[in-house]
Chains A and B, each alone.
Chain A
Amino acid sequence: MTVESTAARGKPRRPAAKRTAGKRQQPEPGPKPEMVQLLTPEGERVEHPDYALETTPEQLRELYRDMVLTRRFDAEATALQRQGELGLWPSLLGQEAAQIGSGRALRETDYVFPTYREHGVAWCRGVDPTKLLGMFRGVNHGGWDPASNNFHLYTIVIGSQALHATGYAMGVVKDGADVAVVAYFGDGASSQGDVAEAFTFAAVYNAPVVFFCQNNQWAISEPTERQTRVPLYQRAQGYGFPGVRVDGNDVLAVLAVTRAAAEHARTGQGPMLVEAFTYRMGAHTTSDDPTRYRRKEELEVWEAKDPLLRLRRLMERENAADDAFFTDLDAESDALARRVREAIRTMPDPDGMAMFEHTYADGHTLVDEERAQYGAYVASFADHHEGD
């Protein structure tokens, strides 16, 4: 305890100029960020020279359906958490276009590495939504087989999966396969060493990875300025691969840009970074209280950019759907919500002995010993009851 307090000696020292990063009001360095948009918040189609997209009314209806059902599923899961059926739920509210647009840009043979919030991407991959609930109810740590839908398990440790995606993509190159690998991550994750290392590896090995960053403006309570001084997509340049910012609330632009990035990967041109500029409309998770750190006005600005609303406006403008479509979709949403509630009510709790399963593929004598001891311990209670 040799370092004395300077305050105790009566002369508190403060830095001469108070230059905290948080108070700086400098413009962002580098070129002004450009954002690919094909559909304005008002529902108007606009063209982009690099990302042309032809859509049929049927495609618009499908994208809209995906987003409505995903939002409904998400709302139901939030409600189930409130009712005590789930321990936690990370809502994707507001990020439907970023997830459906990118998810629908992929082929079945492509491979996805999600964070914990990619419920919309899971939907596109064909993972049954009820399977996503298990880990948030606390009955398992995953709940689906990654190989059956080419959709890896959710990763909670921030940024780790970017390296897994890169390694998987390195394997794709070795196999000479025609596959794009997508690594989803957040604006906060962009600060992790693992993500920086993934960029390096992917660049060096020209790996077919699409780094898909959903910049939803917040990492729990920290705004994106706490993670970066340049727009995130511009980071790619320093690693030697292209980066593009897309309006993450515009499902058409996300679809077009992700298609291009996936094609770039599949055709041997290496990685690409896509920054989907979007917004986390809800709390970080059901445990979070965003009123402590962000203002209502910000939410209102983003409400006006709602991804579902703008597609609906386009569909109405182009007569892409009749009333029956929307009525049927409402009914389908209700049915999905019912199915999710039912699945939760009937989801069995795991057996205690399940703890001792699957720690090793080839077995382990200590696990065997502990399983036997614990089994005997549990059985001793049963004997006791019979004796009572």
Chain B
Amino acid sequence: MAAEKMALAKALNSSLRKALETDPKVLVMGEDVGRLGGVFRITDGLQKDFGEDRVIDTPLAESGIIGTAIGLALRGYRPVTEIQFDGFVFPAYDQIVTQLAKMHARSLGTVKLPVVIRIPYGGGIGAVEHHSESPEALFAHVAGLKIVTPADPADAYWMLQQAIQCDDPVIFFEPKARYWDKGEVDPAGIPGPLHAAKVVRAGGDLTLAAYGPTVKTALAAAAAAAEEDGTSIEVIDLRSVSPIDFDTLQRSVEKTGRLVVAHEAPVFFGSGAEVAARITERCFYHLQAPVLRVGGFHAPYPPARLEEEYLPGLDRVLDCVDRALAY
């Protein structure tokens, strides 16, 4: 397959297809993933080509999906599960937190659970309640889970390959608002490590860290700041929320002396808090300003007509950048 420009959704579909082709132990399972191809069509055409044995429409029960995925993994399969929307993962929270995350440790390393949990997450699509949330911190707090989130089609393709090959449970958060964004994907390319952060725009005045849906916003903010004020912002796509690549962040912050973290999830106890604490510890003498965070509020995700106010859009990110630069 030659390099091709494709939407992030299509990149995920190609990646799943590749995994099903190369490893007969890979299974795709979830609600409506079969004939419908998933509500976002990420699994489009897979059941037709790989059969109902391998692309499985499950009963409507998330705890059931993850619980049985654990059993299938114990039997040697590599289930790639889909949770239809971020807000619907919670019926499975018990299985994920108390079972999936802990079984490797409890078995003293003998049991491996290579389960992938794909979750479309984040807002900006004008949806009703429970369809726009960013619950990554609720999982990052749990040892035993790895959490990644691609921001562009190439990462979507490769990170999903790597997540499926990983012997640990991986929660794979997909930025649903970016499903239709296009980018170059080269299936013959060589990917970087799954959990490495990536400098996506170089700069010297301030480091702006983001992941998933906010990477695009961060890049737009950096472009605007360069044009309007001549400020040079370095944008880092974290890509992985657990573990977090603090080395890459540290290198950048030692150079810029300022760090802003942007994510859609509420900032209170969010991943930005962890970044702020660790980077403050690592870079204390380089920092010219406290690490600032911009993100969601301590409120339920609001009705669609207020989501632009709730989300860290261009204006709020720039406002936060200005505050960091003002120190």
Report yes or no: A193 in contact with B61, Cβ–Cβ below 8 A.
yes
Which of B140-148, B224-232, B301-309 binds A?
A: B301-309
**Contact (A292, B298) CB under 8 Å given A5-B23, A88-B127, A355-B310:** no
**Contact (A141, B298) CB under 8 Å given A227-B59, A292-B35, A377-B319:** no
**Contact (A293, B53) CB under 8 Å given A3-B78, A350-B303, A374-B297:** no
**Contact (A22, B52) CB under 8 Å given A3-B25, A219-B60, A364-B298:** yes
Cβ contact of A359, chosen from B35, B129, B298, cutoff 8 A: B298
Q: Tell me if B114 counts as interface (CB < 8 A to partner A).
A: yes
Q: Tell me if B288 counts as interface (CB < 8 A to partner A).
A: no
Report yes or no: A350 in contact with B36, Cβ–Cβ below 8 A.
no
Report yes or no: A292 in contact with B36, Cβ–Cβ below 8 A.
yes
**Contact (A191, B52) CB under 8 Å given A136-B128, A222-B31:** no
Q: Tell me if B130 counts as interface (CB < 8 A to partner A).
A: yes
Q: Which residues of A contact B (CB under 8 A)?
A: 1-3, 5-8, 12-15, 18, 20-23, 87-88, 134-141, 156-159, 188-189, 191-194, 219-222, 226-227, 287-288, 292-293, 349-350, 352, 354-356, 359, 364, 366-367, 370, 374, 377, 380
CB distance from B92 to the nearest CB of A (A): 10
| B302 CB contacts on chain A under 8 angstroms | 350, 354-355
| A87 CB contacts on chain B under 8 angstroms | 126-128, 304
Report yes or no: A352 in contact with B22, Cβ–Cβ below 8 A.
no
Q: How far is the CA of A190 from the CA of B59 in the complex (A)?
A: 9
**Contact (A221, B34) CB under 8 Å given A88-B128, A356-B297:** yes
Report yes or no: B130 in contact with A354, Cβ–Cβ below 8 A.
no
Report yes or no: B297 in contact with A1, Cβ–Cβ below 8 A.
no
CB distance from A77 to the nearest CB of B (A): 13
The majority secondary structure among interface residues of chain A is loop
Cβ contact of B25, chosen from A6, A23, A136, A221, cutoff 8 A: A6
Q: Tell me if B24 counts as interface (CB < 8 A to partner A).
A: yes
Q: Tell me if B280 counts as interface (CB < 8 A to partner A).
A: no
| B167 CB contacts on chain A under 8 angstroms | 1-3
Top 3 A-B residue pairs of the complex, sorted by shortest distance between their CB atoms: A138-B304, A221-B36, A191-B59
Q: How far is the CA of A134 from the CA of B304 in the complex (A)?
A: 10
Interface positions, chain B 273-301, Cβ under 8 Å from A, are: 297-300
| B78 CB contacts on chain A under 8 angstroms | 3
CB distance from A380 to the nearest CB of B (A): 8
Q: Tell me if B201 counts as interface (CB < 8 A to partner A).
A: no
| B31 CB contacts on chain A under 8 angstroms | 219-220, 222
Q: Tell me if B88 counts as interface (CB < 8 A to partner A).
A: yes
Report yes or no: B87 in contact with A221, Cβ–Cβ below 8 A.
no
CB distance from B96 to the nearest CB of A (A): 14
Nearest chain-A residue to B309 (Cβ)? A352
